[in-house]
Structure 1
Amino acid sequence: MAIVYVPQTIFPEFASDLEISEVAARDAFTASALSYALAFFAFGPLSDVYSARALASSGAVATALAGGLTALTTSFPMFVVAAAATGVCAASVPSAMLALAARAGNGRTGRSFGVILAATVAGITLGRGVGALLAGSVGWRWTYVVLASAILVAGLSSLALPRTTSRSQSVVRAYAAALTMIARPDVLRFLGVGGSLFFGYLGLTTVLTLRLSDPPLSLGPSAIGAINLSGLIALAGAPLAGALVPRLGAKKVSLLGLCLCLAGTVAVRLATDAVGATLGLLILYLGVFAAQPGLMVRLTQLVGVDQKGSASASYFLVCLLAGSFLGWLWQDHGWALVVVASAAAVVLTLVLASTTSDTRALRARGATR
C-alpha cells in the first residue's frame, strides 16, 4: 500500500525532476491507485483457487521489481506506466491475505480482518507520511528504492505463512462464480455500504491532502506527511474492533465505528489549522477502521467458502474506486461541497448498514463470527 500511495504526497519532487507541472504530476497517483483497485477483481478469484502463500510471495516480489523500475524512469509517461504496473502487482498481496482471513474460522475472522486492515492503513500512512519525509530527505527516487526493498523482504518473509492447498475449482469457474456472486442483491447491498463509506472517507482524506498543500495553509510534503501519520491510529483500532466482533456482534461493532466516522468528518470540516485537521483525521481513521472488520465479516458470511476471497477482494475494489470520485468535486466546486458530500455518504452508509439484516446469512450459511 505504501508504494501505491506514495505519489500522492511526493508529486512536487518528481514533477520538478521530470519537468512537468505539479497539476499533471498529481495524475500519477490516479494511475497508481486506479490500477491497484481494478486489479483486485483479477486477483480475488485467483485467491479462491491458489495458495495464499504463493500468491502473496510472488506478488510482493513482482511489486518490488516494478517499484524499483519506477525509480529508474526518466520521463513522466514512463513514470505513470511503471507506477500503474506497481499498483497492479501490489493488489495480489492483500487479495491473498483477505482470502486467508475470510477462512480463519473459530471466531478469528473479525480479528484477522482487523489485523490486515490495520496493516493496510499503515501502508497508506507510510506512503503518505514516511514516504513524504523520505522524499524530502533523500529524494523521490531513493524513496521508491527503500519501499521496493522493504516489499522484497516482506515477500520473502511471507513464505513463512501457513501452508494452504490449492482448491479444486478451475480459474475460469472461479471468475464465473465471482461474477454471479457480485450480482446478488444481498452482496450488492454490502458492496454499496463499502462504496459509500470510502466515497466519504477516502475521498475526504485525499482531498484534504491536496487542500493542505494549497493556500492558505500551503504546507510542504513533510508537514502533510506528519499530519497523515494520524492514520496509524488504525493499528490499534482495527484489531481491537475485530476482537470485539465475537462478543458484541459484527453489526453492532460496524455501526459504532460508522458513528465515529461521522464525528470525524464533522471535526475535519470544523478544523481551521493543522492541529484541528490532525484531530479530525484521528477520529475519522479510528471510526473507519473500527467499522471495517465488522462489515467484512458480515459480507463474507453471505457467501460460500469457495467465494470468500472473491467477496473480500470485490469489497476492496468497490471501496477504492469509490474513494477516487471526490477529487473531481474538489476541482470543480471546492472544499465546502466536498465535506458536505463526504458527510452525506457516511450517513448513507449508516442507513444501509443498520437496515441490512444478517439473519439470513447466519441461518443459511452457518457462518461464524
Structure 2
Amino acid sequence: MTRLLPRGGTFLLAVIAGTAIANNYAIQPALTSVAADLDVPLSLIDLVPTAALTGCMTGFALLLPLTDHLAPNRLVTAQLTALAAGLALAAAAPDAAVLLAAYLVIGAAAGVAAQASSVAGRHAPPGRSGRGVAIVAAGMSAGILLSRLAGGALTDLLGWRRMLLVFAALALLGALSAATLLPRQRPHSGRSYRATLAALLPLLRHHPQLRRAVATGGLWYFAFNLTWVALVLTLAQPPHSLAPAAIGLYSLAGLLGFAVLPLTGRLTDRYGSQAVITAAMLAAAAGTALLATGLDSPPVAAVGLALFDAGCFAAQAANQSRVIALDPHRSGSLSSVYLVFYFAIGAVGTGLAAPLLNTLGWQGTALTALGALLIAAALGRTGIRQTR
C-alpha cells in the first residue's frame, strides 16, 4: 500500500518545486552584471539560461523516471543537495566556462520540480491526486514567475554571487525537510531502471497525441523563452537601461498566469484540453502583439505580459493533463518524454534570443514568437481527440 504524504507534505513539495525551478530563471535579470563582472561578451553569458534548460532537459530524461524506482525522501533530498552544490559552484565561478558547467548541474538538479509533482500525485489520498498535482504545479508557476523578481532584487542588494548563495541555502533547507517528512517507501516497479529508459522513445511512436502535445507545447515554450530572454536583454540596454530589480518587476505582470491555473483545470474537465489550448494560445498571441508594439508604455507592456504568461501557463496545464490521461499507469514515463522535448525546444528559443535581437530588433523577435504561438493555436485546434 502506498503511504500518504504527511500533513503539509503537498505544500512542502510545492515549495520545493517552486524554489528549485526558480534557479533556471533567477539569474536572467543579472546577465549584464555577470558579463561585466567576468569581463566577457553578453552574447556568451546569454548561454547561461540555455545551459540551465539543457541541464533540466537532461534531468527530465534521466532522473524523472527514478520516481518509479527510489523512495521520495532519498531522491528529492539527493537532488536538492546537488542543486545547492551547483549553485555554490556558480557563485564562486572565476570564468564563464565554470559558470556554464555549474548551470548544467543546476538545471539537471532543478528537474526535481517535476519529480515533486509525480510524488504528490502518487502519495495523495484516494480521489485527490489531481488536486495534489495542481498544488505543486501552482508552486512551480509561482517559482517561475517570481524568480526574476527575486533574482533581480537580491542582485541589487547583495550582488549576483551572493544571490546564488541565498538560493543554495533554500535548496539545503528543502533537502533537510524532504529527508525528514517525505515518504521512505520505495515504489514497486515491474521493470529495471534501464528498461524504463529504453521504453521512453517508443512512446512517441505508440501515442500520436503525445507527438501533438510535444509539438504544441514546444512551440509555446519556444515563444515563452524567446520573449522573456529578449525582453530582459532589451530592458537592460539603452534606451531603457533598467536595473536588475526593475527588470524583475515586469514578472509581476505574469501573476495572472498563476491565478488562472485553478480555473484552467475546471475548464479542461468541462470543455476538453483542445479548446483550452486554442483559447490560451490566442490570448498569448494577443499579449505578444501588445509587447511587440507597446514596450515603451509600461501599462501596455504589463497587459501584454499578463496575457502572454496566462496563455502559456493555461495551455501547459491543459497539455500536461492530456499527456497524463493517455496512460495514467505510465504517466511518469509519458511526462518524461514530453518534458524532455518541451524543454529542448524551449532551450532553442533561449539560445536564439540574443542573435535574433541583434538581427531583427525587439519587434522582429517578438513577431517571431507570435508566429510560433499562432502555429501552436492551429495545432491545438486540429487536435486528434479531446481529453475530458
Q: TM-score range by the shorter chain?
A: 0.7 to 0.9
The aligned residue for residue 100 of structure 1 is 119
The aligned residue for residue 348 of structure 1 is 375
TM norm structure 2? 0.84
Query: Quick one: which of 14, 35, 39 aligns to 2:55?
Result: 35
Please give the residue correspondences for 1:37-52 in structure 2 after superposition, counting only pairs within 5 Å: 37-52=57-72
- Contact between 2:277 and 2:377, CA under 8 Å: does it hold in 1? no
AA at the equivalent of 1:154: G
Structure 1 residues 109 and 280, CA gap change in structure 2 (3 angstroms): farther
Query: Quick one: which of 204, 208, 213 aligns to 1:182?
Result: 204
1:284-323 Cα shifts (integer Å, max 9, x gaps) = 1111112222111111112351x31122233222222222
Matched, 1:339 2:339: no
Shift in Å, 1:41: 1.0
Task: Give the whole-Å Cα distance in 2 for the aligned partners of 1:36 and 1:89.
Answer: 7
Please give the residue correspondences for 1:56-205 in structure 2 after superposition, counting only pairs within 5 Å: 56-91=76-111, 93-100=112-119, 108=128, 111-159=131-179, 160-161=181-182, 165-168=186-189, 169-184=191-206, 185-205=208-228
The aligned residue for residue 291 of structure 2 is 268
Shift in Å, 1:115: 3.0
- Contact between 2:288 and 2:367, CA under 8 Å: does it hold in 1? no
AA at the equivalent of 2:288: T
Matched, 1:24 2:51: no
- Contact between 1:111 and 1:241, CA under 8 Å: does it hold in 2? no
- Contact between 1:187 and 1:299, CA under 8 Å: does it hold in 2? yes
Which consecutive residues of structure 2, in runs of 5 or more, have no partner in the other structure? Answer: 1-20
AA at the equivalent of 2:140: T
Shift in Å, 1:39: 2.3
- Count residues with an aligned counterpart: 359
1:148-205 Cα shifts (integer Å, max 9, x gaps) = 1112212333343456542322101101111211333332111111111112222212
Shift in Å, 1:342: 1.4
Shift in Å, 1:333: 2.5
The aligned residue for residue 247 of structure 2 is 224
1:223-273 Cα shifts (integer Å, max 9, x gaps) = 111112323333322233224433443333333322321221222122133
AA at the equivalent of 2:117: L
Task: Give the whole-Å Cα distance in 1 for the aligned partners of 2:147 and 2:370.
Answer: 25
1:301-360 Cα shifts (integer Å, max 9, x gaps) = 12351x31122233222222222334143333222332222122112112212221336x
- Contact between 2:141 and 2:258, CA under 8 Å: does it hold in 1? yes
- Please say which of residues 225-234 and 62-71 is displaced more in the overlay: 225-234
Shift in Å, 1:23: 3.2
- Contact between 2:82 and 2:105, CA under 8 Å: does it hold in 1? no
Task: Give the whole-Å Cα distance in 1 for the aligned partners of 2:158 and 2:255.
Answer: 23
SS in 2 for 1:50: coil
Shift in Å, 1:208: 1.4
Moved beyond 4 Å, runs of 4+: 101-113
% identity of equivalent residues = 29
SS in 2 for 1:182: helix
- Contact between 1:200 and 1:342, CA under 8 Å: does it hold in 2? yes
The aligned residue for residue 366 of structure 1 is none
Matched, 1:277 2:301: yes
Shift in Å, 1:36: 1.8
Structure 1 residues 332 and 164, CA gap change in structure 2 (3 angstroms): farther
Task: Give the whole-Å Cα distance in 1 for the aligned partners of 2:128 and 2:272.
Answer: 13
Task: Give the whole-Å Cα distance in 1 for the aligned partners of 2:342 and 2:298.
Answer: 27
Task: Give the whole-Å Cα distance in 2 for the aligned partners of 1:244 and 1:152.
Answer: 37
The aligned residue for residue 365 of structure 1 is none
Which consecutive residues of structure 1, in runs of 5 or more, have no partner in the other structure? Answer: 363-368
Structure 1 residues 105 and 208, CA gap change in structure 2 (3 angstroms): farther
AA at the equivalent of 1:296: Q
AA at the equivalent of 1:341: T
- Contact between 1:37 and 1:320, CA under 8 Å: does it hold in 2? yes
